[in-house]
Structure 1
Amino acid sequence: MNPISSCFLDSLTVTSFFGNAEMRAVFNDRQLMQAWLDVEAALAGAQADLGIVPTAAAQAIAAAARVESLDLATVASDAADTVHPLVPMVRALTRAAGDAGRYVHLGATTQDVMDTGFVLRARAGLDIVSGQLDELIRILRRIALRHRDTAMAARTHGQQALPTTFGLRCAVWQSELQRHRERLAQLRPRLLVVSMGGAAGTMAGYGPRAFELERAVASRLGLGVASTPWHATPDRLVECLTLLGLVAASAEKLAREVYFLGRTEIGEVHEPQRDNQVGSSTMPHKRNPIRCEAVIAAAGTLRAQVPLAMQTMVSQDDRDMGVGMALWKLVPECFILIGGALQRLNEVFAALRVDPARMRANLSATGGLLLSEAVMLRLAGPLGREPAHHLVMRIVRDSLDQGRPFAELLRADPQIAAAVSGAELDRLLDPLGYIGHAAALVDRALLESEA
C-alpha cells in the first residue's frame, strides 16, 4: 500500500474504517488491468476460433496477457503521454506478444474492452456482496430465533409505542436483506454481458462474422450478449450501483439501530468491543460503537454516488465519455465501500451484546403508558372507540402532567372501574401480554425466507 495516499479509501490511517481487503483485491489497479487483458485475450481467442487470426497468435496473446508480463512503468508513462486510458496497455501487450502483437485489439474499441472489464470485476464484486449478505441474513435469523420472545419497547416517532420483541425486529431486518439478495440475483443477467459495439456501435470493425465473434467472446468470458450496443446506455452499471445504494441504506439503518439502542440511557443492545479497542483518547470509560459509525459513514458516502451514477446515463450521441468517465471512479469505489460496510456489520451482529433485562426494565419506564392502546381497545366495546380513546388520552395526560402512575388514575376513574375489573386491568397493563403475534411473525418470516 502506498504510504502517501491521496485517496481516503487507501489511507494507512483510515483503511480499517472504509473498505476491506477482499474487495480491494478485486478492484485494485492490477486486477482492473488484468480484467482488460482478459478481454483482449478472449477477443483474440474467439477470432482464432473463427479463423480470423492464427491460433498460434491467439495463444501467444493469451500467454502475454498477464499484468506481470507488462512493463507497468512504461504503461504509466505512456498513459501520461497519450492521455488515453487503454492504448498504453494495448501497446505493452502488443510488445509482450511478439510477432503475434499485430493481432492485438483487432476491431475493438477502448470502451468495449474497458466496459467488459468492469463487468468482469463487477461480477466478482457481486459474488462478495452476495456472500456477505448471506452471512448477515444467517446471523440475523439466529438472533431472531434466540430472541423470538424477548420483549422490548417498539418505538415510533422516537417514542415508546407498544411492546414488541427483539426477535421480530431482527426478522424484519433479515427480510429486507433477503429482498436485496433477490434484486442482486435478478440484476445479473442484465449486467453480465459483453460490450462489443465497436467504434460507433455498429460492430463494423469486427467484420462479417461480428455476431458469431460476439457470442464466442461472451462464451469465453462467461458472460451474456446484449441485444444492442451499450456504449451510450450504461444503465446496467448504473442499476448495479443503485442496488448497492439500496443495500447501503439498509446497512446504515441496522448500524443506526445498534447505535441508538446502545445509548447509555437505553442500553438494550451494544456493539461488541475488543480487549485492546480504544473508545476515547481521553475518556477511558467510553465504549464507542465505532464499527457502526464506520458503516454509517461508508453507506452515506456510497448513497451520495448514486445520483452521480445516474448522470452518466444522460449521454450524447453514440458515445460520450464526458459522463462515462465517472463510472471509472464510481464502480470500484462503490464496491469497496459496500464491501467494507457489510464486513463490519457482520462483525457487529455476529457478537452483538443483547441485554433482555434492560429491555424489560425499559418497558416499565413509562409506568404502563405504552399499554394505553390495550386499555383503549378493551373500553371500546362498552364505551365506543372514540369515547374510549378520549377517556384514555385524558388519563394519559393527567398522568404525565401530575406525575401520578397511569394504573392509579385508571383505577380511580369511575367509567373504567365500571367496565374493567382490577384483575383484568392488571393483565391489560402487562407488557408481556400485549406483544400480539410477534412470535408467530418471526416464525412466518423465517419460514418464508427458507422457501
Structure 2
Amino acid sequence: MDTYQTPLSSRYASKEMSKLFSSSASPSYGTTQCTVPTRFGTWRKLWLNLAIAEQELGLPISDAAIEQMRANLELDEAQMKVAAEEEKKRRHDVMAHVHTFGTVAPEAAGIIHLGATSCYVTDNADLIFLREGLDILLPKLATVISRLTDFAKQYRDLPTLGFTHFQPAQLTTVGKRATLWIQELLWDLRNLERARADLGFRGVKGTTGTQASFLTLFDGDDEKVEALDKRVTELFGFPYAYPVTGQTYSRKIDIDVLGPLSSFGATVHKICTDIRLLANLKEIEEPFEKDQIGSSAMAYKRNPMRCERACSLSRHLMAIYQNTLMTASVQWLERTLDDSANRRVTIPEAFLTADILLTTLQNISEGMVVYPSVIARRISQELPFMATENIIMAVVKAGGDRQECHEQIRVLSHQAGAVVKEQGGENDLIERVRKNEYFKPVWDQLDSLLDPKTFVGRAPQQVDKFTKEWVEPALQPYVEALKSVKTAELSV
C-alpha cells in the first residue's frame, strides 16, 4: 500500500482484464492458440512456436529442446527474480528473459530467439493481447445491448416528454429514447468486431522487417522463410501476417483498435449524461442500494455516482486515443523506441477503462428505475401547449374559422403561460378552454385530444422494428455467451 497503483486495476477493472495486461508468468492457453495469455508466458510460447516452425523447416533443433521449452512455459517466482536481476544487469527485458528461459530449458538455450529481434516477442505478444482484450470486451458489450433492449421493450409505449436543446419538445416514449442509446452501442459493437477481424500478426520479419537473418538461416531459401512466417502465424491462430513491417508492426494498428474504444467512450458519456439529466428531473434513476449514501452532509441525496464515474472514465478513454495518433506519427523510418513507454501505459489503460465502463453500464442498465407518475405530471404541464394545433383542427372540423380559433387559443395560451412562469402555478390552459364558450363544440373531444399516446407517433412500432431487424441479428453471435452472464456488481 506504500506505492502508487492505478485505480483502474486496483479499484475497478475485472480480474480477467487486469490479468491480461499483468506481468503474470503463467500462460493459461493450449498448444497452438492463446485464450488467456500473459506477457512473459506469451514470450515463451512465441519462442517455442518459432523453434517448432524452424525445426519443421529443417533447422537442427532437437526434440529435447522443444520438449524442455514446452515443459517450462510457466515461470515461478524464482525465475521471475532471475529475470529481474538479469534485466537490471543487461538493461534489456527480452534478453533477460531469453537467458532465464535457457536456465530451465538448457537443451534449448542455444536456439531460443534464433534469428529473431526483440519485436518478434514484444510486438506479436501485443497483437495477441489486443485480440484477447477485444474478445473479453465484445461479449460484455453485447450484454449491455441486451439489457438495454429489455428496458426499451418494457417501456416501448410509455409516453415521455421529448427534449431538444434540453427544452420541452414533442413527446416520445421511454423505450424509443433507449433505442437511441442502443443504436450507438450497436455501432460500437460493429466497430470493435471489425477491428478484431482485421487484426493480423507481425509474424517473423527480422530486425528491420527484411527477414535477412532468416534468409541466412535457411541458406537463401525464400520459400522456407515465407513458410516460417506463415507457420508461426498459424500456430497463434491469426488469419494472416502483415505483408511488410519495419522492426515493429505499424503503430496505425493501435489506432485501428483504440479508435473504436475511444468512440465507445463517447457513447457511454452520452448515455450516462442523459441518465444524469433524467435523474435531476426525477424521471429515471440509476440503481441506488439500500445502504448507499448519496452525500456525507445531505442525507436525502441520491447522487448518480455510477453515471458520474462512467462519464469521468469515458473522458479518460477518449483522451487516451490521442496518444496512439501521436505515437504513430513519429515512428521514424523502420522504428524508434519512443513508442515503448507510451504504449505500456496507453494500451492497457484503454482496455482496462473500456472494461470498467462496460461493467458499470451493465450494472446501471440492470437496475434503472422509471417513475411513470413523475413523467405523466411533466407531460401534463407541457402537453396543453402542444395540443393547441390539434384543438384548432378539431374546431375547424366542427365548422369554426381557423384564423379566429388561432387568435382565441393564442390569447388563452399566453394567459396560461403567465400563470406558470410568473406565478409558479400549474398549466391551466385546458381549464380555460373548457370555460370558453367559443370552444364548446369540441369540449367533449378534449380528453381524447390530450391523450399522450396520440402524440408519440410511431415510437412503439419503431422500438419493435429496430429490435427485430437490427438488435437481434447483431446479438446472434453472442446468444450462448449471454445465457451464462451474471448480474453485474460494482466492486466499490
Partner amino acid, structure 2, of 1:128: I
Overall identity of the aligned pairs, in %:
24
Calculate the TM-score normalised by the size of structure 2.
Answer: 0.81
- Answer yes or no: is the 8 Å Cα contact 2:157–2:173 preserved in 1: yes
Structure 2: 5+ residue stretches without partners: 25-37, 216-220, 421-426, 474-492
Q: 2:128 aligns with which of 115, 120, 143?
A: 120
How many angstroms apart in 1 are the aligned matches of 2:251 and 2:138? 22
Deviations 1:97-138 (A, max 9, x none): 113111111111112211111111122211111111111111
Deviations 1:26-66 (A, max 9, x none): 11121222222222222122212222233332222232232
Distance 1:162 1:50, change over 3 A: same
Calculate the TM-score normalised by the size of structure 1.
Answer: 0.87
How many angstroms apart in 1 are the aligned matches of 2:312 and 2:50? 41
Structure 2 SS opposite 1:92 = helix
Q: 1:54 aligns with which of 62, 73, 77?
A: 62
Establish whether residue 434 from structure 1 lines up as the match of residue 455 from structure 2.
yes
Task: Find the counterpart in structure 2 of residue 284 from structure 1.
Answer: 299
Q: Counterparts in 2 of 1:85-164, with a 5 A limit?
A: 85-164=93-172
Shift of 1:374: 5.5
Q: 1:259 aligns with which of 254, 276, 293?
A: 276
Task: Find the counterpart in structure 2 of residue 7 from structure 1.
Answer: 5
Shift of 1:237: 1.9
**RMSD after superposition:** 3.2
Partner amino acid, structure 1, of 2:41: Q
How many angstroms apart in 2 are the aligned matches of 1:326 and 1:237? 12
Partner amino acid, structure 2, of 1:279: G
Q: 2:45 aligns with which of 35, 38, 47?
A: 38
- Answer yes or no: is the 8 Å Cα contact 2:412–2:433 preserved in 1: yes
Partner amino acid, structure 2, of 1:132: K
Establish whether residue 220 from structure 1 lines up as the match of residue 220 from structure 2.
no
Q: 1:23 aligns with which of 17, 21, 34?
A: 17
How many angstroms apart in 2 are the aligned matches of 1:343 and 1:325? 28
Partner amino acid, structure 1, of 2:371: D
Residues 100-109 or 372-381, more deviating: 372-381
How many angstroms apart in 1 are the aligned matches of 2:311 and 2:132? 24
Residues 68-77 or 296-305, more deviating: 68-77
How many angstroms apart in 1 are the aligned matches of 2:121 and 2:334? 16
- Answer yes or no: is the 8 Å Cα contact 1:140–1:170 preserved in 2: yes
- Answer yes or no: is the 8 Å Cα contact 2:203–2:233 preserved in 1: no
Deviations 1:314-357 (A, max 9, x none): 12101122135422211111101110110011011112212222
- Answer yes or no: is the 8 Å Cα contact 1:377–1:388 preserved in 2: no
- Answer yes or no: is the 8 Å Cα contact 2:204–2:232 preserved in 1: no
Residues 227-236 or 132-141, more deviating: 227-236
Q: 1:294 aligns with which of 303, 309, 313?
A: 309
Shift of 1:10: 5.6
Shift of 1:68: 2.5
- Answer yes or no: is the 8 Å Cα contact 1:232–1:317 preserved in 2: no
Distance 1:60 1:431, change over 3 A: same
- Answer yes or no: is the 8 Å Cα contact 1:39–1:113 preserved in 2: yes
Q: 1:82 aligns with which of 87, 90, 111?
A: 90
How many angstroms apart in 2 are the aligned matches of 1:70 and 1:234? 35
How many angstroms apart in 2 are the aligned matches of 1:56 and 1:380? 96
How many angstroms apart in 1 are the aligned matches of 2:123 and 2:133? 15
Establish whether residue 328 from structure 1 lines up as the match of residue 351 from structure 2.
no
Structure 1: 5+ residue stretches without partners: none
Distance 1:376 1:90, change over 3 A: farther
Partner amino acid, structure 2, of 1:104: I
Deviations 1:76-114 (A, max 9, x none): 233334333422222211222113111111111112211
Partner amino acid, structure 2, of 1:358: V
How many angstroms apart in 2 are the aligned matches of 1:372 and 1:44? 80
Shift of 1:429: 3.4
Shift of 1:371: 4.3
How many angstroms apart in 1 are the aligned matches of 2:127 and 2:463? 38
Task: Find the counterpart in structure 2 of residue 238 from structure 1.
Answer: 255
Distance 1:376 1:38, change over 3 A: farther
- Answer yes or no: is the 8 Å Cα contact 1:197–1:203 preserved in 2: yes
